[in-house]
Amino acid sequence: MARHIKSIILVLLIAMVIALVGASIFVIHTISEVPAQRINRFDKSKSIEVSRSKIDSDVYINRTDLYDYWLFTESELSFDEYIDLLVSRDKVSKYQKGFLTKDEIELPRVALNECEKSSCYQRRVLFGEMPSVFWKGLIGIEDSRFLNHFGVDLKSIFRALATDIVELRLAQGGSTLTQQLVKNLFYSNEKSFKRKIKEMIVAIYIETKFSKEEILTSYFNEVFWGSFNGVRIKGLYSASLFYFGKKPNEVDPFEAAILIGLLKGPYYYNPLSHLDRLKLRSKVVFNKLVDMNLFSKSADRVWEDSDWEKWLIDLKTRSLSDRYRPLIYISREQEDSGISSYEQYILVKSSISVLSGLKKKYKEEDIAIKMVMGNLKNKQYFSYYSKWERDKIKAISAERNSVGSALKPIYYTLMTYLGLKWSDEVESKEITLNLNSGEWSPRESHKVEDEYVTISRALQESLNRPLVRLARDYGFDKIEKLTLDYIPSLQVPLAQYPSQLLGSIELSTYELFEVYKRILKRECDEVRSGKKSWEDTMLYVLGDPTKTTIKRIVSKNLKDLNFFGKTGTSNNGYDNWFVFYDGWNLGVIWTGIDSKRSGDGLRLYGSTTSFKVFQQFLLTRGRRMGELNCEKSGDLIR
């Protein structure tokens, strides 16, 4: 009997040892599979080193544009403080809904968006930059024993466990702030005992590795605060920005109560869909913060219905208008782009604005925009693709679209190297070529009354027949040889595929950018060497917007300015281009459909799509127009 009892005890001891060993292995494995070093990422977000922007003197800046840009910069001043500083230094003056610059001003750098997802914003801030009402209030509302426990709160766990047993499900979690942080960083929202145990193990481990201050800092930088219009909001800075259009240190007490209340359930208390829930929750939080003496009830009032209504209108305006999307995009870009971050912001903003209008008109079409733009004094360029979820590099560099008339300046310029003069005249009447595939007669998009037109007019009006006639007269083989040096993908012999002269050739946005970059360099080399005069360049011929294909749509503010621009439209409006050079930057903008096409076509043109993006950019970018001449351009291209 005694031996039997000893055997049972031995078995129990072995089982306990096995259980302890198994538990130890489970604990070690749980800790090892978690990248705990992420907790230590509590430094302030870095700025984008290449993004410092300058605003020229004597230009008008829209207040909303400048304010929104300011929210995403590294500056610790408030916007009003910054403007007051500029006014006191006689740098700017307030004018209408914006500012007039009296002198060149420099903007702070844009802070780097640290969220790993494409449609998301996260900006980490230091503990000392967080108003104490947030972390004190969060502790008081969510985890009153945070400063004393070791990662888990046994009292809360037993209370939650009792509730779970009664309801026979995981009704309450009893989670501490440390556990919530662990769940946000490393685990999903799945409710299971195994996940809960892992969460507790890692929470205890985290408490042994990091201070309470570091844990709170990481919490406020990593916690999910909801989403608007598909944009995920991560961290306190992002929440302050999206919900109130402010930096955290500018949020008032009741707004702080709203943000703390939202953490309980960002979707459940979403103000756009469940405002009544959020109202009740915010008042409860606010009253508790008053009880904690974080602020006084007499000094800081609770919102009335009119305040909620005003906020909701403002919130809808900001959250549903894609207002911050351009800044989210540029804050992720770290490439040395050759154009300033403010110009990037305005360019993307213009793109989103034009695209939004097109999508309202063509609801069933999958319209997109691609852009490449660069300052020609270096090899860097800025690129943008409106479909953030797709591979931008592939879309910009590898995916080709029919260029339409966007290539005509290239062909005309190549023929000037064969002796063509812009003042020469050419017949505009019909022309028929006998090809191996049969007879081919190009058509015009509009009626030309004159029997003869100058070469410059033929290019300015983007006529088809004169170009084909000139190519035939100068020799398709000669044009082909010159063109292949710039466009290796040209289908040969050109004499059998002359429609390529009119744009039936496909290039990627980046390829077209490079073609123009090379031809501009050659043009200005010719001017500097004395082989050509400035008036003999395509930059000069297409430099007057009142004479080209954009003359009916160009803004009054731009009609008296000179900039090179060429539209292109192909495939019944599915491919729409605008190529420009403004004395500072060369750019190529494509607007169209790069997915499945219905075949019915769109009533779109380069002048009504891609040019609009450029025009909005030019009017609001905060820079004066560059000088359109080869002396200036030559310096930039070298």
In a domain, 88, yes or no: yes
**How many Cα atoms sit within 13 Å of 407 on the Cβ side?**
25
Same domain, residue pair 242 and 134: yes
| pLDDT digits 0-9 by tens, 289-320 | 888 887 765 556 789 999 999 999 998 887 77
Q: pLDDT category, 177, cuts 50, 70, 90? A: confident
Whether the predicted pLDDT of 471 surpasses 90:
yes
| pLDDT digits 0-9 by tens, 190-243 | 666 777 788 888 888 888 888 899 989 999 998 999 988 888 999 999 999 999
Q: Radius of gyration of the chain from Cα atoms?
A: 32
The Cα–Cα gap between 115 and 348 comes to: 19
Nearest residue to 103 via CA among 624, 636, 563:
624
Whether the predicted pLDDT of 168 surpasses 50:
no
Q: Extract the runs of DSSP E, i.e. beta strands, from 315-459.
A: 367-375, 382-385, 401-402, 425-427, 433-435, 438-440, 452-454
pTM metric for this prediction: 0.87
Cα dihedral across residues 245, 247, 252, 254: positive or negative: positive
Q: pLDDT category, 588, cuts 50, 70, 90? A: very high
Same domain, residue pair 475 and 511: no
Which of the listed residues 90, 107, 124 is the one where a domain comes to its end? 107
In a domain, 190, yes or no: yes
pLDDT for the residue 230: 84
Number of H helices, E strands in the chain: 23, 19
In a domain, 22, yes or no: no
Q: Position 595: which residue type?
A: S
Same domain, residue pair 121 and 249: yes
Please give the DSSP secondary-structure letter assigned to residue 504. Answer: -
Same domain, residue pair 227 and 103: no
Same domain, residue pair 74 and 158: no
Number of domains in the chain: 4
| pLDDT digits 0-9 by tens, 522-560 | 998 899 899 999 999 999 999 999 999 999 999 998 998
Q: pLDDT category, 481, cuts 50, 70, 90? A: very high
Angle (nearest 5°) at CA 522 between 578 and 631: 85
| pLDDT digits 0-9 by tens, 36-93 | 666 665 556 666 665 568 899 999 999 999 999 999 998 888 899 999 999 999 999 9
Same domain, residue pair 514 and 557: yes
pLDDT for the residue 637: 42
In a domain, 479, yes or no: yes
| pLDDT digits 0-9 by tens, 111-126 | 999 888 878 999 998 8
Whether the predicted pLDDT of 8 surpasses 60:
no
Confirm if 223 and 134 have CB atoms less than 8 A apart.
no
Q: pLDDT category, 33, cuts 50, 70, 90? A: low
Averaged pLDDT for residues 106-110: 91
Q: Determine the structural domain holding residue 617 and report its residue range.
A: 351-403+505-597+612-638
Could you tell me the CATH number of the domain that includes residue 166?
Answer: 1.10.3810.10
pLDDT for the residue 121: 93
Nearest residue to 141 via CA among 274, 271, 286, 238:
286
The Cα–Cα gap between 621 and 624 comes to: 9
Confirm if 340 and 53 have CB atoms less than 8 A apart.
yes
- Written as six digits, the tokens of 526 are 């010719």
pLDDT for the residue 20: 60
Same domain, residue pair 516 and 495: no
In a domain, 26, yes or no: no
**Cis geometry, peptide bond prior to residue 493 (ω within 30 degrees of 0):** yes
Q: What percent of the chain has pLDDT over 70?
A: 85
The Cα–Cα gap between 549 and 583 comes to: 20
The 3-state DSSP class for residue 560 equals: coil
Same domain, residue pair 565 and 483: no
The Cα–Cα gap between 605 and 241 comes to: 37
Q: pLDDT category, 166, cuts 50, 70, 90? A: very low
In a domain, 192, yes or no: yes
pLDDT for the residue 3: 52
In a domain, 63, yes or no: yes
Q: pLDDT category, 638, cuts 50, 70, 90? A: very low
Same domain, residue pair 296 and 379: no
| pLDDT digits 0-9 by tens, 393-429 | 999 999 999 999 999 999 999 999 999 999 999 999 9
| Mean per-residue pLDDT of the chain | 86
pLDDT for the residue 631: 65
The Cα–Cα gap between 200 and 366 comes to: 47
In a domain, 28, yes or no: no
Same domain, residue pair 150 and 97: no
Same domain, residue pair 314 and 441: no
Whether the predicted pLDDT of 167 surpasses 60:
no
Same domain, residue pair 174 and 293: yes
